Amino acid sequence: MNTAAAANADEFSSRHTANFPALLRQLRASVLVSTYQAGRLVVLRAADDQLNTHFRRFARPMGLAAADGKLALGAQGEILEFRNMPALAPRLSSAATHDAAYLLRRRHLTGAIDIHEMAYAADGALWFVNTLFSCLCTLDDAHSFVPRWRPRFVGAYAPEDRCHLNGLGLRDGRPRYVTALGETDTVQGWRANKRDGGVLIDLDADAVIARGLSMPHSPRWHAGRLWLLESGRGALVTVDLHSGERTDVARVPGFARGLDFVGPLALIGLSQLRESNAFTDIPLTDANADRRSGLWVVDTRNGETVAFLTFTGDVREIFAVQALVGQQFPDLLHDGELLETAYALPADALRETAAAARA
């Protein structure tokens, strides 16, 4: 037996409920999971009756966004943007049949700004949370990043992580909700009360909707309600837009971070956050919970767990979760010969190329 291969398999091992592959087939979906701690983007996909966990290496992968055949990944000092080339999928070597092939098309160097959540707006603009500078940003061709909004309690742009801005949610195709771990304006001031100093902010009103949250992440507008994760309590909650009152829908056994929905099902990322992590001293730590890392699937109609996957190797922290509905066996390519010999051309040029090839 190859000892190195066995060690690598153990490093990224996992286990899951028996129904997980069937659930993905039923949803006609795959799921992307980023883990900056392990330096991997994990593609969860069903292969017959098995769950295939496909790992791609990146430097500190965190935020994910997908829309209209585009995929963006926030990594160490850069944003990588991919485009789906489905015609290339049959050329990918595998025992299974691929139905999507995301090829790297652009790398934008942002500098080390601790990119957190990302989202494509309806107009195609990519928005992302610049946590180091405490602001929301977009990209252009001339700058590292373009600040578009910051909380009113943050007095200036500075590389000081003043409030740990982290979560971004769209509504009606526009950035609408953000979360931060503190309503603070000093260098890493949020750390003094990370236990329950978190806030949820409405961008349109430029006002705080809810305070007293335990390390909130991943605000989402879904099915006519506002959702988020109270990571410090391991809770999926809804928030009343007027009163700010929160209601627990489900509790999960870990630091909940990374959220997506497919119909009534919530896909929730979990992290272990061992005692050496800076995000300890929170309710989960007090409870001495059996904290796990992986992906939990919860039915939002009753709060019950439908399926789960837990990593048993070195994957201890999850950041983002992104479902790819309609793509059951995708892959991503960011290096290698196939990337170098696959060409995406405008339709007019492609027709001429095809005509020339037939002549």
11, 114, 97, 25: which is closest to 61 by C-alpha? Answer: 114
The whole-angstrom separation of Cα 39 and Cα 76 is 10
The DSSP H or E segment spanning 7 is: helix 3-11
What is the architecture of the domain spanning 3-358?
Answer: 6 Propeller (2.120)
pLDDT of residue 330: 94
243, 260, 255, 314: which is closest to 289 by C-alpha? Answer: 255
| pLDDT tens profile 285-337 | 555 456 789 999 999 999 999 999 999 988 999 999 999 999 999 999 888 77
Cα dihedral 60, 3, 44, 49, rounded to 10, equals 180
50-57 β-sheet, strand order: 50-57, 40-47, 29-35, 321-325
The whole-angstrom separation of Cα 192 and Cα 321 is 28
Identify whether the C-beta of residue 297 lies closer than 8 Å to the C-beta of residue 305. yes
In this structure, what token pair is assigned to residue 7? 């060690």
Core vs surface per residue 44-81: b (16+ CB within 10 A) or e = bbbbeeebbbbbbebebbbbbbbeeebbbbbbebbbbb
Please enumerate in sequence order all residues whose Cβ is within 8 A of that of 265, keeping only pairs 6 or more positions apart, or say none. 27, 297, 298, 299, 300, 306
The whole-angstrom separation of Cα 54 and Cα 9 is 11
Q: How far is CA 351 from CA 105, 348, 356, in A?
A: 21, 5, 9
pLDDT of residue 313: 84
Torsion sign over Cα 215, 221, 223, 226: positive
The whole-angstrom separation of Cα 322 and Cα 318 is 12
Identify whether the C-beta of residue 219 lies closer than 8 Å to the C-beta of residue 246. no
φ, ψ of residue 352 in degrees (nearest 5): -65, -40
Provide the residue ranges of all domains of the chain, joining segments of one domain with +: 3-358
Identify whether the C-beta of residue 12 lies closer than 8 Å to the C-beta of residue 315. yes
Residue found by looking up tokens 């956050």 in the block = 273
- Digit-by-digit pLDDT tens for the chain (359 residues) are 343 344 455 688 999 999 999 999 999 999 999 999 999 999 999 988 899 999 999 999 999 999 999 999 999 999 999 999 988 888 886 656 899 999 999 999 999 999 999 999 999 999 999 999 999 999 999 999 999 999 999 999 999 999 999 999 999 999 999 999 999 999 999 999 999 999 999 999 999 999 999 999 999 999 999 999 999 999 999 999 999 999 999 999 999 999 999 999 999 999 996 555 555 565 655 554 567 899 999 999 999 999 999 999 889 999 999 999 999 999 998 887 777 878 888 888 878 886 555 54
The pTM (predicted TM-score) of the whole model is 0.91
Identify whether the C-beta of residue 145 lies closer than 8 Å to the C-beta of residue 110. yes
Cα dihedral 15, 18, 24, 30, rounded to 10, equals 10
Cβ-count burial of 200 within 10 angstroms (0-12 exposed, 13-18 middle, 19+ buried)? buried
pLDDT of residue 2: 40
Beta pairing, strands 216-222 & 225-230: antiparallel
Core vs surface per residue 211-225: b (16+ CB within 10 A) or e = eebbbbbbbbbbeee
Q: How far is CA 264 from CA 27, 168, 260, in A?
A: 11, 20, 11
191, 189, 213, 193: which is closest to 201 by C-alpha? Answer: 213
Q: From the centroid of its chain, how far is CA 324? A: 12
pLDDT of residue 5: 40
Identify whether the C-beta of residue 77 lies closer than 8 Å to the C-beta of residue 111. yes
